[in-house]
Amino acid sequence: RVSPRSSFARTAKADSNIVSRSISSDAERFATSSYDYIVVGGGTAGLTVAARLSENDHYTVGVLEAGGSGFGDPIVDIPGKYGADVGTIYDWNYTTTAGTGVTDVPSVPWARGKMLGGSTGLNFLVWNRASRHEYDAWERLGNEGWNWESMYSYMKKAESFHQPSRELASSFGIDVSASDYGSTGSVQISFTKYVSPLARKWFHALESLGIMKNDHPLAGNNVGASMQPSDIDPRNTTRSYAAPAYLFPIADRKNLDVLIDALVRKINWSSKKSGGNVVAKSVTFTSGGKEYTVAAKREVIISCGTVNTPQLLELSGIGAKTVLDKAGVDLVIDLPSVGENLQDHLLNCGVWERKNNAITLDTLRNNMSFAQQQAALYANQSDDPASILDETVPNIAYLPLSTVVGETDAKALVAEAVAYVNASTAPYKRALQEQLLFLQQYSDVVGQIEFFALDGFQCPAGTPEPNKTYTTFAAPQQHSLSRGSVHINSSSASDYPVIKPNYYSVPFDHKVAVAGVVYLRKIAATSLYAPLFSTEILPGEEADLQHYTLTRFGTEFHPVGTASMLPKTQGGVVDSSLKVYGTSNVRVVDASIIPLHISAHTQATVYGIAEKAADIILLG
């Protein structure tokens, strides 16, 4: 499936400043150079780390990105079009393997960014972070310095927060502290200018269910009902993703080269070891149907994301012997944890039809004159009224289990989780034990289920009917016990790896999922929201929720963990300096190093990881 707008993207690419010195598709030239640091993957973490490393002009940095550039493409740039570039040329378009969990579960599509900026060019622009205890858990798992204080300062380093106007803050009902955010970073953060009737009612609706408002959700405790900002640059109301934030402004740097449309196939190893560890000397990539090799003088940094990072490690000979033997790849380092410990936020949702065709994002699809009027407001950067094309996803709530199911049921569920973890023989059992603390010691300050409202039909369980408008409420589970894997099944980088999330392989997860959908209905039935709706479309009043949650779920697109930062004997792939065990100069910097999932959307955390990684690399 190719976006009808892809020709626009190509034209924009040809016209724009992205053809400035650093960014090119001249593979010949790239391959004849050699770089101190080769960064594989020009996505969220890759561009961040490349930008920081190349601030030091003693080092040369070469970035290889498999995708192209989305510069100037409205389906990437316009906030209210979020989701429009999923399934296009900017998406790897992965699909998970159907699996056996509580029962058979279907395969689901997994979007992943394939472009300069990676998944930040494809995502839904939610900008948030988890509770402090979740980052502190990473340190307790053996990663000194990887705690809330450090991650908070690096996440702040990545962002420039723009305070909402008094009118906008009052429409949302928020009291924002700029000190909760960074002020000098590359990613521009602001609140969506368009405040829908749905958004206005969020706090009161949740308050009527006993959920308190949280005005500081990004400052270390995200539990409660909140309005959260987005990565929108308010100066032109466009998506501030990794490419415009970190790369385009420095694209004339002489010590930085970025090659697009270049698929890295493997890392090549020197014949000599260093201190018993293997040494990367170059990487092989293909571009325009030809194969090239480019030399790395200091390090290779893998930033291919949670799916492709384990794939590249395995293609390069690092992984479980059994996996590599089956795929026909020679073993270089036997590291069985590569591709394991995969964790995701499984998502269930419900959809309600709006009475009287009330205006939502669906109206853009249903009514061409409305769409044109909103496009004109957007083009004019109108504040009053703001265009619906400025709208993203501000309404969020992270809730503990007891809030969702009540104390008694929560106790029973926790007991079930404890029994499961006690019986586990997984190498990453310590991480599972830390996860239990979120249910026990930190149960009030670490959310187990996220709830959010979407102003339109955006639920993988179904499709909208023409000329109707909808509200979607979603309930993604934040701390599943199920763990999956990503592995190669051939020696070719062009073959997609096998993604097995093992959703619902632990019955606890299914029970939490059902509880989430039950609670969505409670939100929809509040006196604030119920008058807006005519019919429950999904799950549908007659639906069997056990079956619905097993068969109609999707992903929140937050996979992590396949190159976990953990001690080697506890399921680790990288150490706390992000170096791959057994190598002297290969690091992983991306979402795959997260050893234990967080109750947050992942982009701000990934930028924080990359900012911290750059300091680790530069400061030794």
**What is the spatial distance between Cα 357 and Cα 456, in angstroms, rounded to a whole number?**
11
Place of tokens 């959703």: 503
264 labeled part of a ligand binding site? yes
Taking the least distance from each CB to ligand FAD, the nearer of 128 and 403 is 128
For 380-428, where are the alpha helices, taking DSSP H only?
401-405, 407-423
Q: Does 305 bind ligand FAD (CB under 6 A)?
A: yes
Q: Does 557 bind ligand FAD (CB under 6 A)?
A: yes
Q: Does 86 bind ligand FAD (CB under 6 A)?
A: yes
- Provide the minimum distance between the beta carbon of 314 and ligand FAD in the complex, in angstroms, as a whole number: 12
**What is the spatial distance between Cα 436 and Cα 415, in angstroms, rounded to a whole number?**
10
**What is the spatial distance between Cα 29 and Cα 51, in angstroms, rounded to a whole number?**
20
| Region near ligand FAD per CB under 6 A, out of 35-43, 164-172, 469-477, 503-511 | 35-43
- Provide the minimum distance between the beta carbon of 303 and ligand FAD in the complex, in angstroms, as a whole number: 5
Neighbours of 328 (CB within 10 A): 11
Q: What residue type is 346 in one-letter code?
A: L
Write out the binding residues for ligand FAD, residues 444-503 only, by CB under 6 A: 493
**What is the spatial distance between Cα 600 and Cα 604, in angstroms, rounded to a whole number?**
9
- Provide the minimum distance between the beta carbon of 178 and ligand FAD in the complex, in angstroms, as a whole number: 20
Q: Does 263 bind ligand FAD (CB under 6 A)?
A: yes
Q: Which residues contact 537 (CB under 8 A, 6 or more apart)?
A: 351, 352, 353, 462, 470
558 given a catalytic annotation: yes
467 labeled part of a ligand binding site? no
Taking the least distance from each CB to ligand FAD, the nearer of 156 and 511 is 156
Q: Which among 162, 345, 510, 601 is annotated as catalytic?
A: 601
Give which of 54, 46, 52 is closest to 22, Cα–Cα: 54
For 148-216, where are the alpha helices, taking DSSP H only?
148-158, 166-172, 197-207
Write out the binding residues for ligand FAD, residues 370-429 only, by CB under 6 A: none
x/- binding map, residues 99-138, to ligand FAD, per CB under 6 A? ------------xxxxx--xxx-xxxxx------------
Q: Does 64 bind ligand FAD (CB under 6 A)?
A: yes
The residue from 312, 388, 524, 532 that contacts ligand FAD (CB under 6 A) is 312
Q: Does 608 bind ligand FAD (CB under 6 A)?
A: no
Give which of 524, 376, 556 is closest to 459, Cα–Cα: 556
Q: Judge whether 447 and 399 are in contact, CB under 8 Å.
A: yes
Taking the least distance from each CB to ligand FAD, the nearer of 146 and 508 is 146
**What is the spatial distance between Cα 150 and Cα 576, in angstroms, rounded to a whole number?**
13
Taking the least distance from each CB to ligand FAD, the nearer of 570 and 603 is 603
Kindly list the distances between the CA atom of residue 135 and the CA atoms of 132, 181, 272, 608, in Å, as whole numbers in the listed order.
6, 17, 38, 11
351 labeled part of a ligand binding site? no
Q: What residue type is 106 in one-letter code?
A: P
Q: Which among 345, 487, 558, 597 is annotated as catalytic?
A: 558
x/- binding map, residues 191-230, to ligand FAD, per CB under 6 A? ----------------------------------------
| Region near ligand FAD per CB under 6 A, out of 24-32, 40-48, 158-166, 416-424 | 40-48
Give the CA radius of gyration of the chain.
Answer: 23
Q: Does 38 bind ligand FAD (CB under 6 A)?
A: no
| Diameter over CA atoms, the chain | 72
102 labeled part of a ligand binding site? no
The residue from 88, 282, 303, 443 that contacts ligand FAD (CB under 6 A) is 303
Taking the least distance from each CB to ligand FAD, the nearer of 449 and 528 is 449
**What is the spatial distance between Cα 260 and Cα 14, in angstroms, rounded to a whole number?**
13
x/- binding map, residues 558-587, to ligand FAD, per CB under 6 A? x-----------------------------
Q: Does 606 bind ligand FAD (CB under 6 A)?
A: yes
* Strand-pair category, 159-161 with 187-189: parallel
510 given a catalytic annotation: no
* Strand-pair category, 290-302 with 586-588: parallel
Q: Which residues pair with 347 in a beta bridge?
A: 554
- Provide the minimum distance between the beta carbon of 226 and ligand FAD in the complex, in angstroms, as a whole number: 14
191 labeled part of a ligand binding site? no
Number of residues that bind ligand FAD (CB under 6 A): 42
- Provide the minimum distance between the beta carbon of 67 and ligand FAD in the complex, in angstroms, as a whole number: 4
Output the CA angle 564-228-341, nearest 5 degrees. 15
Neighbours of 287 (CB within 10 A): 21
Q: Does 66 bind ligand FAD (CB under 6 A)?
A: yes
Q: Does 73 bind ligand FAD (CB under 6 A)?
A: no
Cα of first residue to Cα of last residue in the chain, in angstroms, is: 44
For 332-400, where are the alpha helices, taking DSSP H only?
362-366, 368-379
- Provide the minimum distance between the beta carbon of 392 and ligand FAD in the complex, in angstroms, as a whole number: 8
Can you give the binding site for ligand FAD, defined by CB under 6 A?
40-46, 64-67, 86, 111-115, 118-120, 122-126, 263-264, 303-305, 308, 312, 493, 557-558, 590-591, 601-604, 606
The catalytic site residues sit at: 558, 601
Q: Which residues are annotated as a binding site for FAD?
A: 123-126, 264
